[in-house]
Amino acid sequence: MNWWVHSLYESYGLVVLFSWAFWVIFSIVLHELAHGWAAIANGDNTPREMGHMTMNPIVHMGRMSLFFFVILGIAWGLMPINPRRFRHERRGRVLVAAAGPAMNLLLAFITLTAAGAWVWAVTSGRITVATHIAANVEQFLFWGGFINLLLGAFNLLPIPPLDGSAILAGAHPALDRFYNTPAVRMYGMLVVLFFFFRVIDDPLQRTAGTAASTYVNWVEDRLIGPGTGSASDSFPEDAEEPDNSAAETMPPGN
């Protein structure tokens, strides 16, 4: 298996490689901060007391996660919480777990909207920049949206230790008991790794890429006008996708 950095650079170039690394790390940090903000809002001050309400990626990801990201393209983060301190424990667990993927989907919406608006601004002459700069900015924004769609969707899978399982565990006592079964927790990570390499690597990437491209084109059409044509070509359908994607896999409080 090729090193993901080399594969991404050879397939897409330096701008996309930088965009990928930046957005994975930045998005995981904001994902974890969203867990922390939600925990604090629900009465648990543990994230602040533990010094995790910071933009420092080393605090959220740790050196081991950053090492694995460089070597394998896999990354994760952690936000310490104490559900027993929530004003309403069960509702708080659901809201805190959902906050991370919600942040990723919000980032995807912002960056993809910005990508469409950027193309409109350049195409309409409202912003005048060199062609390569215009293309690089569009790629940077597009890949930010694409990566956050992946992170949001992946973390909503109902498999421990992903956030989707924490949402369900907080929603119903029977599911809580199921997800806290030692065997389920032990084998959950193996299932996550299977999904990472078998699902994230192909169908989920293609689905996220199609969704991102479709939305960017829709924004362009709304601003430029239908029939004018789209300048968005950041994720062509026939392009070979990178060998690995990074996912924030650790649930809050685990």
Task: Give the residue numbers marked as catalytic.
Answer: 32
Q: How deeply is 162 buried, as exposed, middle or buried, from its count of CB atoms within 10 A (0-12, 13-18, 19+)?
A: buried
Encode burial over 127-150: b for 16+ CB neighbours within 10 A, e otherwise: eeeeeeebbbbbbbbbbbbbbbbb
The single-letter code of the amino acid at 94 is: V
**Rounded CA gap, 77 and 47, in Å?**
13
Nearest Cα neighbor of 247 from 77, 38, 92, 115 is 77
